[in-house]
Structure 1
Amino acid sequence: MARVLRGVLTALATLAAILLPEGAQTLQASQPVRKTLPTVEIFLHQDASAAQSPAGENDDDAHQQPHSEHQRQVGRKVREALADVGATFIRVHGVPRGLGPRSFAAATRLFGQVSAQEKASLQVNKQGFTRGFVPLGGESGSHATEVKEAFSMGYAWENATNIQPENGLEGHNLWPSTLSAQHEDRHVLQELFSVFVDATHAFVKSTLVHLPGLEDLAQNCARAETISLLRIFHYFGNASSSYGELGCNESAQCIGSSPHTDWGLLTLILIEDQHALDALHFYSGEEWVRVRPEDQRDKEQDGIKPNDQDEQDTASLTFLLNVGDFLALSSRFAIRSPLHRVALSERERYSFVFFAFPNFDAPVPEHDGVGRDASYDEMRGRVSLLQDQSQPGQKNALLQASTFGELIMRKWAQVQRSKLVEDEPSQNDAPPSDERIVQLLNSSFGKGKNPSVSTLSGGDGDDKIISFDRENGRLIMKFRGSDAMCNGKPGPHAQIQGGFASAMLDAVTAQMVVIYSQLTNTVASLEQKTTFLKPVPPNKDLIGVAKVIKFGRSIAFLEAELRLGSETGTLLVTSSTTISLVKLPSKADKKKASKAKM
């Protein structure tokens, strides 16, 4: 088993010293004081005007929408809470019944049933595209060790029909083999992601756009869900063996999550119970505070949980919401992005944290002239979103970028320099599973890393590899020719030029070799014999089926066929191919080559 190496994530190691006000730098400070926050009622699947908008007393549209005195009081309290603590609660109605319990059960299985090896093979790419697992102790915002692991997921591109990934923050999720496309837990997590997205949009429309300076915020949220993140955190109890594994003791400080501010627009946290809420602390500028919903303050001693629901009424969820740096900048710090931390827990627990970003092209807020003073510049200098962390231990110049997406890409590139946990190479590491290889290839196609497959398949967002059967040596892929591939003019009798049909069969046989060899070989075609039986129509689903006839050490023989619509559809084209197997460099080979260049 790979051993755990202690270290720090140096890209973030100086946040406590650089960003935290004096008095907030202690990771495990004295007992936080208690503070109550208002709760905003959000109703999904309704027009924003139908929601119980907590409009403030000076709203421009107050004459258009009547608001009750109670709503006005809530509105004032929300504005005060966002200015004081930078957080509030929202109760979201109209969610699928039982979604909360089902989500936490899915999280338990996600971390418990996926092997350490597969988690390591699905680690996040910290250059911007953040999907997959973060290993135990694998990130930290300070010199302390954070005793948690995580899984990051986002927009379900496999279900998208009219949009494609367009930037480095967009791409397919990296699901473990335990969560197939049909698995119930996968559907539950995607359903929860959608609820987070809808709740964010509802809060922006019903609440934030009514605050001064944020009237145009909604336009920066268009398509924002495609780069926003849902991170599932698994915090380990302080009695866990993981503490010793990470070297946590009196001389090596450990924490759940180091003090930090969030980079984006809003952060929404699904509250599991009162215990989880107790572990989250906000810094108010003078002291650390624990927060409670106002409607729970009188019931706290009875152990009431924010998400306890009556069996007959489980169609609402309570989220804790805090402001991100982008939103604080947009408001000229009329509302704050709060410093917060997660304390150690006595028992293990799970947390769902949704990081709502503005869209990739949203301009980074920059206010010159009116409303800008020394106080503004001081606050802006403390925003972690803008901090250049390329040289740990120094307070560097602020980052410059024209759009939020460009800025986040640069931030993730800085974070990548080192990591807290590394896997020691092992000669006994087994190759990835067939399911994992298929997932990797489909993800690479979605990111445009194989242009020929993207061209031959029509470039839609669906998975190109439909299935792989090792026992029978059979691979099925989907293709779709365009009018540009036709002989002559497009029309009802148009047909794809033979070279493109041959290329489809060449592609399916090549991918068969890659998967069949478990990523150890690629191909060089020696001979391909193609037989055309019927015209191949454009703009129709075409199914390529490859079958291994013989797979030797250096040569492989395969047959393939192209059918219309399905694997049992009309047979259009067949081929037989002789392939030279080309050895791919292993990780060890790449490491040796890298060292040789140094």
Structure 2
Amino acid sequence: MVAPVPDEATPAEVYVTALNCISISDPDIQKSISLLKQACLDSGFFYVIDHGISQEFMNEVFFQSRMFFALPLDKKMELFRNEKLRGYTPTLDQTLDPENQVQGDLKEGYYIGVEVPEDDPDAKKPFYGPNQWPSEDILPGWRQVMEQYHKEALRVSREIAKIIALTLDLDARFFDKPEMLGEPLATLKLLHYEGKISDPARGIYGCGAHSDFGLINLLATDDVAGLQICKDKDAQPRIWEDVAPMKGGFIVNIGDLLERLTNDVFRSTLHRVVLDGRERYSIPFFVAPKPECVVECLPSCASEKNPPKYPPITCAAYMNQRYIDTHLGPTSYHTQEMRE
């Protein structure tokens, strides 16, 4: 084992960080609270196990993800993400660290949000609307698998949020309120990293360094490593540590909006993906409050000596700006594609 690796270095091995592991079904809730609080104060990342989603079903979700990404590019581009950010995102479409990347992320993805019929009044709101789905003729049963996984991942997210609430001395049901996770923005994203090699020294990454936008993120991965975290985003140079995959478990991290709610008591953590030339599949699930929710410092996280660091902001305003900052428009994508 070697020391953590600075930002500009690219050795064959880096330090594999140790993360706390929290069992959702552990009857000792105080143990879970202690482990989760320590994780949120230390790195903002932790493992979650015993979550109630069977390995058989997880295998099916990954199988169906591979089936989609194996389609010809023209078929996938027929489902190019719409203005509600639903559908396919091609390789290089997203640039999460524009200051350090010379090109977009070496990954393709597929966004699936909460299904809202087009004739529903809520469909006019930011981030709400119908999903785009591959044809049943092409991928039979695909939609049903993804909708079931979306439902299960949201259930697990709410269970984790209960423990987070308790770590903040809040009522366990604090995040169950409609404006929080009762009626959340919940986005499933399938990701496929092609078999290319990252080169941080040249600004080439599988996924550029970023913190996640919302409250919490659940990440399921295959057994190919690549995720790295930087526990101190203000450090110069940044120090990166590997996070090992965990079969049957989730890698969970907190996002920017939870950082704002807690007035930096819990910090969202920079992370990136550095590829070693192997294909890699992962499935993150992002959870954020309702678009109308005003995110502001919790009273318990502010004091006279530690006043609120962030002004109140609606979830929609914050999320929309982050998406604009990190995604190409359709015209820009096609222009870039022609230059390749």
* TM-score above 0.5: yes
CA contact (8 A) 1:234 1:348 kept: yes
| Aligned-residue CA RMSD (Å) | 3.5
1:157 corresponding residue in structure 2: 116
CA contact 1:35–1:289 (8 Å) conserved in 2: yes
TM-score (norm 1): 0.48
Q: 1:412 to 1:78 in 2, by over 3 A?
A: closer
Q: Secondary structure at the match of 2:149?
A: helix
Q: Give the residue type in structure 2 aligned to 1:353.
A: P
Per-residue deviation, 1:31: 4.4
Contact 1:122 1:174 in 2 (8 A): yes
Do the aligned partners of 1:88 and 1:320 also contact (CA within 8 Å) in 2?
A: yes
Give the equivalent residue in structure 1 for 2:260: 329
CA contact (8 A) 2:213 2:322 kept: no
Q: Distance in 2 between matches of 1:120 and 1:203?
A: 35
- Per the TM alignment, residue 170 of structure 1 is displaced from its structure 2 partner at its CA by 0.5
Q: Which residue of 1 aligns with 2:243?
A: 291
Map residues 346-361 of structure 1 onto 2, 5 A cutoff: 346-361=277-292
Q: 1:120 to 1:401 in 2, by over 3 A?
A: farther
Shift of 1:96: 4.7
Give the equivalent residue in structure 2 for 1:344. 275
State the distance in 1 between where 2:181 and 2:307 align. 31
Q: Say which of 6, 10, 15 aligns to 1:33.
A: 15
Alignment correspondent of 1:212: 168
CA distance in 2, matches of 1:357, 1:155: 12
Deviation sequence 1:32-84 (CA, Å, 0-9, x none): 322222222225xxxxxxx63633xxxxxxxxxxxxxxxx2x43222111111
Q: Is the 8 A contact 1:122 1:176 kept in 2?
A: yes
Aligned counterparts of 1:24 and 1:420: Cα–Cα separation in 2 = 36
Using the alignment, how far apart are the partners of 1:41 and 1:189 within structure 2? 24
Greater RCO (Cα-Cα under 8 Å, separation 6 or more):
2
Task: Name the structure 2 match of 1:407.
Answer: 318
Q: After TM superposition, what 4+ stretches of structure 1 lie above 6 angstroms from structure 2?
A: 160-163, 248-251
> Aligned residues, how many?
320
Give 1:306's aligned residue. 246
* Alignment CA distance shift 1:184-1:31 (3 Å): same
Q: Give the TM-score taking structure 2 as reference length.
A: 0.81
Tell me if structure 2 keeps the 8 A contact 1:154–1:228. yes
The answer as to 2:59 corresponding to 1:112 is: no
Tell me the CA shift for residue 272 of structure 1.
Answer: 1.9
Residues 1:420 and 1:266: Cα distance change in structure 2 (over 3 Å) = farther
Matched residue of 1:196: which SS? helix
Q: For residue 401 of structure 1, report the CA deviation from its aligned partner.
A: 6.4
Number of the residue aligned with 2:127: 169
Tell me what 1:234 maps to: 192
* Contact 1:40-1:54 at 8 Å conserved across structures: no
Asked whether 1:281 is paired with 2:228, we answer yes
The structure number with the bigger radius of gyration is: 1
Gaps of 5+ in 1: 1-22, 44-50, 56-71, 240-247, 293-304, 308-316, 381-399, 426-598
Can you list the C-alpha shifts for 1:303-342, whole angstroms capped at 9, x where unaligned?
A: xx732xxxxxxxxx41100000111111122211001111
Residues 330 and 365 in structure 1, CA contact (< 8 A), matched pair in contact too: yes
What fraction of aligned residue pairs are identical, expressed as a percent? Answer: 20
Q: Which residue of 2 aligns with 1:67?
A: none
Distance 2:137 2:304 in 1: 50
Match of 2:155 in 1: 198
